[in-house]
């Protein structure tokens, strides 16, 4: 239950779906969590839930051993509340992200883990897709990932430790009808991950990606039941994935157990791409 003890994690898109599940899972393993999202209401609620989880864990640990953490980060005591905080950010703005990264370091003392999870879809066939649909997805799913890593990586490199984990997709590996914009961004994320693995690996910072398949998020569950059934049948496990299952993959790559994994893209798809 302490796989991320003493770690500070930023989770983009952390206000809902896979991001929310990841924030909660990381808290269960001892990480303090910065929630980055555009949705303030949901983000504040998730941060409050994470705070409750960690407040209990800190209290239990302090009761049994006196104090969970005794170290300091950048001159700040590690075991100080808040254990989680929401930051309203627009990942398409590098200036906004740089300010948010500085705020996280000011609030928590360090950044150990970056989960580039935020993303959107604007699906249409190539014939029908507008320039606005194309650009909006590129801005969030690809440029947003670059912005966040650009802003956060220097803090990791300074401390010679970090985990950068980005959300790709199985469609980034194999393509998908009507998703030229989305597929381009996810294939781009896989490429960026390989570059960052080469650039940062010798400096103690690893970069990896997760490629989820069909996951039962709120967005996915708006799809007609007939289509959902077809998706379930495509996967050898015969069901949709759960947000918590993607969160577990994020957790593994963020942990010290994955210290020798660098530049990898791990599919979490129930065997969909076999």
Decide: 246 and 215 in contact? Cβ < 8 Å.
Answer: yes
Give the model confidence (pLDDT) of 15-26 as tens digits: 999 999 999 999
CATH, residue 172: 3.40.50.720
The span from the CA of 186 to the CA of 252, in Å, is: 21
- In terms of phi and psi (left: phi > 0; alpha: psi -120 to 50; beta: otherwise), the region of 74 is left
The answer to the question of residue 55 being in a domain is yes
Q: Is the pLDDT reported for residue 242 higher than 60?
A: yes
The answer to the question of residue 155 being in a domain is yes
The pLDDT confidence band at residue 73, using thresholds 50, 70 and 90, is very low
Catalytic residue IDs = 182
The position carrying tokens 């597929």 is 183
Angle at 259 between CA 152 and CA 60, to 5 degrees: 80
The answer to the question of residue 256 being in a domain is yes
Question: Domain of 54?
Answer: 8-212+244-268
Output the CA torsion sign for 15, 171, 181, 142.
Answer: positive
Decide: 85 and 35 in contact? Cβ < 8 Å.
Answer: yes
pTM of the model: 0.91
The total of structural domains in the chain comes to 1
The pLDDT confidence band at residue 220, using thresholds 50, 70 and 90, is confident
The answer to the question of residue 145 being in a domain is yes
Give the model confidence (pLDDT) of 166-202 as tens digits: 999 999 999 999 999 999 999 999 999 999 999 999 9
The answer to the question of residue 219 being in a domain is no
The pLDDT confidence band at residue 64, using thresholds 50, 70 and 90, is low
Q: Is the pLDDT reported for residue 96 higher than 70?
A: yes
pLDDT score, position 81: 54
Residues in the chain: 274
The answer to the question of residue 188 being in a domain is yes
The answer to the question of residue 60 being in a domain is yes
Q: Is the pLDDT reported for residue 270 higher than 90?
A: yes
- The β-bridge partners of 86 are 35
């Amino acid at each position: 239950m302490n796989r991320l003890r003493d770690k500070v994690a930023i989770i983009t898109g952390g206000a809902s779906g896979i991001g929310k599940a990841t924030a909660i899972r990381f808290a269960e393993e001892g990480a303090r969590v910065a929630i980055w999202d555009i949705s303030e209401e949901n983000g504040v609620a998730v941060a409050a839930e994470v705070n409750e989880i960690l407040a209990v864990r800190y209290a239990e640990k302090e009761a049994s051993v006196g104090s969970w953490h005794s170290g300091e980060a950048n001159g700040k005591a590690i075991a100080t509340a808040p254990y989680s905080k929401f930051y309203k950010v627009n990942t398409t703005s590098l200036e906004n992200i740089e300010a948010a990264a500085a705020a996280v370091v000011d609030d928590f003392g360090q950044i150990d883990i970056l989960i580039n999870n935020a993303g959107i879809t604007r699906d249409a066939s190539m014939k029908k897709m507008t320039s606005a649909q194309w650009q909006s997805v590129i801005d969030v799913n690809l440029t947003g990932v670059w912005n966040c890593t650009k802003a956060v990586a220097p803090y990791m490199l300074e401390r010679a430790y970090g985990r950068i984990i980005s959300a790709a997709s199985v469609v980034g590996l194999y393509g998908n009808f009507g998703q030229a914009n989305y597929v381009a961004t996810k294939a781009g994320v896989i490429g960026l991950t390989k570059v960052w693995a080469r650039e940062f690996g010798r400096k103690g910072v690893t970069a990896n990606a997760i490629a989820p398949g069909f996951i039962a998020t709120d967005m996915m569950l708006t799809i007609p039941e007939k289509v959902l059934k077809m998706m379930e049948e495509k996967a050898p496990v015969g069901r949709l994935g759960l947000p918590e299952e993607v969160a577990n993959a994020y957790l593994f790559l963020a942990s010290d157990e994955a210290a020798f994994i660098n530049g990898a893209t791990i599919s979490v798809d129930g065997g969909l791409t076999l």
